[in-house]
Amino acid sequence: MAANRRVETLTRHLTSMALVDVEAAPQLALPADFDPRELYEFLCRDNLELRDRIMEFLKDDLYQPNYYLSLMEFRELTLQRLQKFVAQKFFSSKDYITDPLRFQAGLECLALADYSLSIKAGVHFTLCGGTIAKLGTAKHHEQYLPRLDTLDLPGCFGMTELGHGSNVMGIETTATYDNQAGEFVIHTPSDTASKFWIGGAAQHGKVCTVFAQLTVNGKWEGPHVFVVRIRNDAGGPIPGVRIKDNGPKMGLNGVDNGQIWFDHVRVSRDALLDAFASVAPDGTYSSPIKSVAQRFGTMVGGLTTGRMLIAQAAVDAGKIGVAIAIAYACKRPQFGDTLIMDYLTHQRRLLPALATTYAMHLSMLRLKAIFVQKRPEDAKTIHVMSSGLKAGATWSRGETLQACRECCGGQGFLAANKIGAMKTDMDVDVTFEGDNTVLMQQVAKALLDAAVRSPSAPSAPSVSVPALTSLARIQELLAYREESLTAELAIAMARAMKAASSQGKQAAAAAANAAFEDNLDTVVALGWANVDRTAFQIFTEEVAAAPSATRPTLGALALLYGLTRIERNLAFYLAAGVLNGQHAAALRLRVNEVCRQLVSDGGKPALRLCAGFGIPDHLLQAPIAFDWTQIGSDGHQM
Amino acid sequence: MAANRRVETLTRHLTSMALVDVEAAPQLALPADFDPRELYEFLCRDNLELRDRIMEFLKDDLYQPNYYLSLMEFRELTLQRLQKFVAQKFFSSKDYITDPLRFQAGLECLALADYSLSIKAGVHFTLCGGTIAKLGTAKHHEQYLPRLDTLDLPGCFGMTELGHGSNVMGIETTATYDNQAGEFVIHTPSDTASKFWIGGAAQHGKVCTVFAQLTVNGKWEGPHVFVVRIRNDAGGPIPGVRIKDNGPKMGLNGVDNGQIWFDHVRVSRDALLDAFASVAPDGTYSSPIKSVAQRFGTMVGGLTTGRMLIAQAAVDAGKIGVAIAIAYACKRPQFGDTLIMDYLTHQRRLLPALATTYAMHLSMLRLKAIFVQKRPEDAKTIHVMSSGLKAGATWSRGETLQACRECCGGQGFLAANKIGAMKTDMDVDVTFEGDNTVLMQQVAKALLDAAVRSPSAPSAPSVSVPALTSLARIQELLAYREESLTAELAIAMARAMKAASSQGKQAAAAAANAAFEDNLDTVVALGWANVDRTAFQIFTEEVAAAPSATRPTLGALALLYGLTRIERNLAFYLAAGVLNGQHAAALRLRVNEVCRQLVSDGGKPALRLCAGFGIPDHLLQAPIAFDWTQIGSDGHQM
């Protein structure tokens, strides 16, 4: 038949785009006979018992979601929730220094219940308490930390200003030392200098760690941090402090953000957090770090915990999202007996999200392990990893929750099903604690520091089509992209420097910076390439160390992660000539195949991986994760 | 110097990835000296005067945002807003048939003020009223439409069931004709058959157009629509009707969605909307359309207006989002005098979003123009365009608002700045009125219908690097992708049919369907390819017809749209061998160049394009779109 011949001919024509052959599609079984608790313990690693206790405590009625409240009622509920939590003394502000994993574990559990509660606690303990612990000295610790532990003195963090978000060095608030009085004068010289977005400022905050440009004896010493009362013990006003409510936000409305102006507010000499710089009564300024920029970098560098908590909360939200969406998809039929998880489009959205969530979680484990060792030589690694992972984890969280919400259809939009509500609350995480675009630039800058001095092009890996399933080849491909983008940018910057070198060092540096700015799209891509390569490497290392029964399933997930990261940047590899059309076709089929494996056996592998997250039912909450046909029954709070 | 030589060598090595040369980056001026009102009139095209009047009316205090309300208060406010709007008689339910553009224009304006209000009105007028107008006959029109026009009888739309969203043919609610009584018995046989997500059902609805499987004289006739009272005139209960509140949602909380069960509820014979099928008193069923599937298809096919309104509201939300984000970015400095719009990363996020918003708007204009002609031969075009554009416009809206929200940093999260609040409310649009993934499958199915019978591979266009700026070449590339994906899928389906043909026609059809399902990722890609090709074609045609002063700027925007659609699918073109590494590098530079053009002259071209949307200040609202330094002043409601 002519038509059949034509089909055959066309098929040959289009081999590079070969589609799945119905009969040929393999349905490989994936043994997933492991105990989810064993996987959970592997994934959790620290403070298991404390976490179990806190999660158990969160069964308390006070922590059940209530979406009926007005803004002001929700803020009040959030305060009450924090008060009751604090009263349990699960951890102390001092743990920020002495037992950081315990400190973080406690706060991580709160995010499982409600993000407003988590952020209100985070502002108080991490941003305010952590700053006092890290940048203050014994006198500050004694004066403030016990009162923070009891929430007797709710704390705020006064860094961001209306006109200065990403550029913290450029804040305008001033602190001028008055030699005669032995006091600092804190002042807001303009509206753009007002402290903005300050969590807790609108209603409950009484004390604030204020970042201000210090001037002593007429000399500017750069930004320093001061502990300033913004309300008295009774919650009443402090003369010279003006506060305005930021009002409703798109989410996170349990947190009372506000705007603060200081009108020549006087604080004692002790208000300066003086671990890295001090002012003597006579106005003699001293610091072991001479450069203003380095000094500020050291101060801010000590405050990585907040960024790590944001990243971990994003990962944990991803866990909740995929656990709900996958549970629902494995039970919900549509068009006869077909479960929605049976559709490739569903698998393609939920399973890479599951893989990414694992990759980010395991990477955070690694970062925390390095962080607690406190080795000076790890400072750069911590900076790069915490920046990249915060951006990578929160952007991935956004994608993951969006996919989960859409895969649950209308049910994903119902507040009771948690995904949508989390998505709204957490949307802020991609721009706070460092805007993600700026953080990815930080990652790239660190990688380029060395590369610009001596740019070198990486050699392209050679990959055969079958080798696409090899974890080692995937690792090479991911590394190649990072090295290649580093080389491209380093070369562009080096060329610009060279062209401007005759005009002096400053001109050369400016030219290099201009080349960097002109290629910001590639800069951000480099940040991502670093996160992808690092996370995949950690993922494969962790699979090797995982309980043996979990390894086949975790391994398939790691493979899916690696394949989809390459697929996402496929154009790069094709343009570079490292992969070709046949690879592209094979890659697609491999991804589809691994997806099918992960949902074989009624979805068991995927469901076990979700169970491994160890989110108890009362924190998963969503009715659709259990019996979706009873969604409207009175058993579930709606 | 050795280092310099190395740089030169590497540069040659990496030509395919060439980055922007600082000096070489052109800053082409783009004349944008046109009157935004002239552009607005070109973009608006119908009911200008009506729209102006409605937008003026929406200055009323009642329509000012209030984000402090509890759920129940917001529902009440939304009802009051709708009541006051309805009292103005801007349009009538009858316009659904007699003047559909007027009907749509009226509802489109509401979405500019608040999406809950828009959806509450849309459910009432479009879904309930439109169904009665389209599927009912004179007796229904006389009985119901005047009472809908005054909101005396708030309407609901009872199609979706808990167990049946995308598969409407599979609904379980039954309508059994009782010959003796001359009545239909409406019944909910199970919980999965309960009507779910029914807008207006929880509190305010009194009448509902209920979709149910009709049985007459023991014979099943397929789904039909019945007008059923769910509350009496006083708002009290109707015996046999049980309603449950769906409760809080992640957004859109001004709409009171509910779940409805019918327990053998009896309605008169007149309750059947009988434009396409009727039941005589003695139980004789008659319809000009014999096939159950075709009959239902005809009924549902008449209800395209709702889908178009959702798509248009998504486009209009995109307009508001980019107008706010671009206005802010052109005023907001960061790191010295640099405006955030000066950053390439910012341009790369906001300007393609602006271009896509234009492309979707112009495509909707075209669809509406075809729709109102009501030519039978356009039915398929309307089906494909309304499905594809609904999916394309709402998914693009999601991306656009996310980009806008992130580009505004924390300010994007503030409810007063509107972007975040819109994003949350509108998130539902990607899954309601047809799940986007399913709609893209509908588009693909329509394209494949003919192709499967006689698959043919398209010839690959040949594109030189400079020709990448040619609109005609871009059109060819976009068409090639659509044709190529069609051919791939058609071949896979034809092969599967051939392999199964010996087992009979049904087996062959099942095999083709299995091939379709096994390649659902490509199927959705084909839907997108169709939207991209269609929208770009319409965009370029509209540029040619636009007021001459606007053409250079609109042309640059169309170019950006085309280039970024190709860039997004670059891997396809590279894998197919149609583009190579040099094209890829050139494409990136072109996109960056057009972005820079659009923000030249202090952002004037982009700002003018935003002004062309004609959103009045009182509907733009966001303080950051005006004087961002006064965000916290008392002038703005927060």
Rounded to a whole number of angstroms, the CA Rg of chain B reads 27
Residue ranges in A502-616 assigned as alpha helix (H)? 505-518, 520-545, 551-568, 570-575, 581-598, 600-611
- φ, ψ at A414 (rounded to 5°): -75, 130
Beta carbons within 8 Å of A533's beta carbon, 6+ residues apart: A475, A478, A479, A481, A482
Q: Tell me, what's the pLDDT at B632?
A: 65
- Per the DSSP assignment, residues forming a β-bridge with B220 are B215
ipTM (interface pTM):
0.94
- Report the 10 Å Cβ neighbour count for B175: 27
Q: Which residue numbers of B belong to the known binding site?
A: 160, 199
* CA dist B531 → A215, A367, B307 (Å): 60, 43, 16
Show the domains of chain B with their CATH numbers. Answer: 42-149 (1.10.540), 158-290 (2.40.110.10), 305-458+469-625 (1.20.140.10)
pLDDT score of A370: 97
Q: Looking at beta carbons, which residues of chain A come within 8 Å of B68?
A: 70-72, 248
Q: How many Cβ atoms sit within 10 Å of the Cβ of residue B49?
A: 8
Q: At what angle do helices A520-545 and A344-373 cross, to 10 degrees?
A: 80
**Chain B residues in contact with A631 (beta carbon < 8 A):** 162
Taking an 8 Å cut-off on Cβ atoms, the answer to whether B514 and A424 are in contact is: no
* pLDDT for residue B20: 36
How confident is the model over B9-27, as a mean pLDDT?
Answer: 39
Cβ of B456 within 8 Å of Cβ of A6? The answer is yes
- Cα–Cα distance between B124 and B151 in angstroms, integer? 8
Residue where the block lists tokens 């119902």: A414
- pLDDT tens digits, B398-419: 999 999 999 999 999 999 999 9
Of A497 and A5, more confident:
A497
C-alpha angle A153-A159-A165 in degrees, rounded to nearest 5: 145
Q: A143 is written with which tokens?
A: 């004066």
Q: Is the pLDDT of residue A13 over 50?
A: no
Asked if A386 and A379 count as a contact pair (C-beta separation under 8 A), the reply is no
Banded model confidence at residue B498, pLDDT cuts 50, 70, 90 = very high
Instruction: Select from A6, A19, A571 the Cβ nearest to the Cβ of B571.
Output: A571
Contact A157, A127 (CB under 8 A): yes
First to last CA, chain B: 61
pLDDT reading at B28 higher than 90: no
Interior angle at CA A411, CA A351 and CA B189, nearest 5: 120
**Euclidean distance between CA atoms A171 and A193, whole angstroms:** 7
Average pLDDT of chain B is 93
Of the candidates A108, A172, A433, A483, the residue annotated as catalytic is: A433
- In angstroms, the separation between the Cα of residue B270 and the nearest Cα of chain A is 31
- Average pLDDT of the segment spanning A566-583: 97
Choose, out of B6, B22, B341, B570, the residue to mutate when testing the contact with A (most A CBs < 10 Å). Answer: B22
* Distance of alpha carbon A259 from alpha carbon B490, whole angstroms: 60
Per-residue pLDDT tens digits for A288-303 = 999 999 999 999 887 8
* pLDDT above 90: residue A497: yes
Model confidence at B14, pLDDT cuts 50, 70, 90, reads very low
In angstroms, the Cα distances linking A135 to A154, A418, B141, B490, B491 are 18, 38, 74, 66, 67
Q: CA-CA distance, A39 to A609, in Å (whole number)?
A: 8
Three state DSSP letters for A533-552: HHHHHHHHHHHHHCCHHHHH
Local confidence band at A466 (pLDDT 50, 70, 90 cut-offs)? confident
Residue A512 neighbours by CB under 8 Å, 6+ apart: A452, A493, A494, A496, A497
Proportion of chain B above pLDDT 90, given as a percent: 87
Residue B637: predicted pLDDT:
35
- Which residues, in sequence order, are CB contacts of B218 under 8 Å at separation 6+? none
User: Residue A569 carries which side chain, given as an amino acid letter?
Assistant: N
Q: Distances in Å between the alpha carbon of A345 and those of A107, A301, A587, B216, B526?
A: 36, 43, 16, 39, 13
The band of B467, judged by pLDDT with boundaries at 50, 70 and 90, is: confident
pLDDT band at A632 (very low <50, low <70, confident <90, very high): low
Other CB atoms within 10 Å distance of the CB of residue B613: 24
The 10s digit of each residue's pLDDT in B268-283 is: 999 999 999 999 999 9
Structure tokens at A442: 């930080």
Write out pLDDT tens, residues B34-43: 999 999 999 9
B36 to chain A, minimum CA–CA distance in Å?
A: 30
Residues making up the annotated binding site of B for FAD are: 160, 199
Alpha carbon distances (Å) from A24 to A100, A377, B515? 52, 53, 11
Residue A142 is among the residues annotated as catalytic for this protein: no
The encoded tokens of residue A387 equal 């920046």
Identify the weakest region by mean pLDDT among B136-150, B330-344, B430-444, B528-542.
B330-344
Question: What is the enclosing helix (H) or strand (E) of A183?
Answer: strand A183-187
Per-residue confidence (pLDDT) for residue A465, from 0 to 100: 84
Catalytic residues of B: 433
Which residues touch A133 (CB under 8 Å, ≥6 apart)? Answer: A93, A94, A96, A97, A141, A145
Look at B128 and B32; give whichever has higher pLDDT: B128
CB A517 to CB B344 under 8 A? yes
Residue B394, pLDDT above cutoff 80: yes
pLDDT bin (cut points 50, 70, 90) of residue B25 is: very low
pLDDT given for residue A5 in this prediction: 55
Interchain contact, B10 vs A196, CB within 8 Å: no
Provide mean pLDDT across the span B544-567: 96
Residue among A11, A249, A457 minimizing CB distance to B413: A249
Per-residue confidence (pLDDT) for residue B2, from 0 to 100: 52
What integer is the mean pLDDT of B547-574? 97
What is the nearest CA distance from B66 to chain A, expressed in angstroms?
A: 9
pLDDT of residue B466: 81
- With contacts defined as CB-CB under 8 Å, which chain A residues touch B17? 484, 488, 575-576
For residue A633, pLDDT beyond 70: no
Give B259's contacts in chain A (Cβ within 8 Å).
632
User: What is d(CA A284, CA A304) in angstroms, rounded to the nearest whole number?
Assistant: 30
H and E: helices and strands count for chain A: 23, 11
Do the bridges between strand B155-158 and strand B207-216 make them parallel or antiparallel, or are there none, so unpaired?
parallel
d(CA B139, CA B146): 12
Residue B594 has pLDDT above 80, yes or no: yes
- Type of residue found at B473: R
- Here the tokens at position A207 are 């004390």
Question: What is the spatial distance between Cα B161 and Cα B193, in angstroms, rounded to a whole number?
Answer: 5
pLDDT at A17 (0 to 100)? 35
**DSSP 8-state secondary structure symbol assigned to residue B211:** E
Question: B360: which 2 tokens?
Answer: 């979707």
pLDDT of A228 above 90: yes
Tokens standing for residue A435:
């805007």
Least confident of A588-597, B3-12, B614-623: B3-12
Of A18-27, A327-336, A408-417, B26-35, the range with the lowest mean pLDDT is A18-27
**Number of Cβ pairs closer than 8 Å across A and B?**
335
Q: Which helix (H) or strand (E) holds A187?
A: strand A183-187
**pLDDT tens-digit profile of B239-266?**
999 999 999 999 999 999 999 999 999 9
Residues of B in contact with A496 (CB under 8 A): 22
Cα Rg of chain A (Å, integer): 27
Contact indicator for A350, A428 with CB cutoff of 8 Å: no
| Residue B26 predicted with pLDDT over 50 | no
Q: A344, B521: Cβ pair inside 8 Å?
A: yes
- For residues A154 and A200, the answer to whether their CB atoms sit within 8 Å is yes
pLDDT of A635: 36
CA proximity to B422, closest of B400, B390, B393, B392: B400
Dihedrals φ, ψ of A207, to 5°?
Answer: -135, 150
pLDDT in tens, A113-165: 999 999 999 999 999 999 999 999 999 999 999 999 999 999 999 999 999 88
Q: Residue B1: its pLDDT value, please?
A: 42
Retrieve residue A506's tokens.
């400053």
Is B250's CB within 8 Å of A414's CB?
Answer: yes
CA B124 to chain centre: 19
Q: Are B455 and B490 in contact (CB under 8 A)?
A: yes
How do the residues of chain A divide into helix, strand and coil, expressed in percent and rounded to 5?
Answer: 60, 10, 25
pLDDT digits (tens, 9 = 90+) for B415-446: 999 999 999 999 999 999 999 999 999 999 99
pLDDT in tens, A329-371: 999 998 888 999 999 999 999 999 999 999 999 999 999 999 9
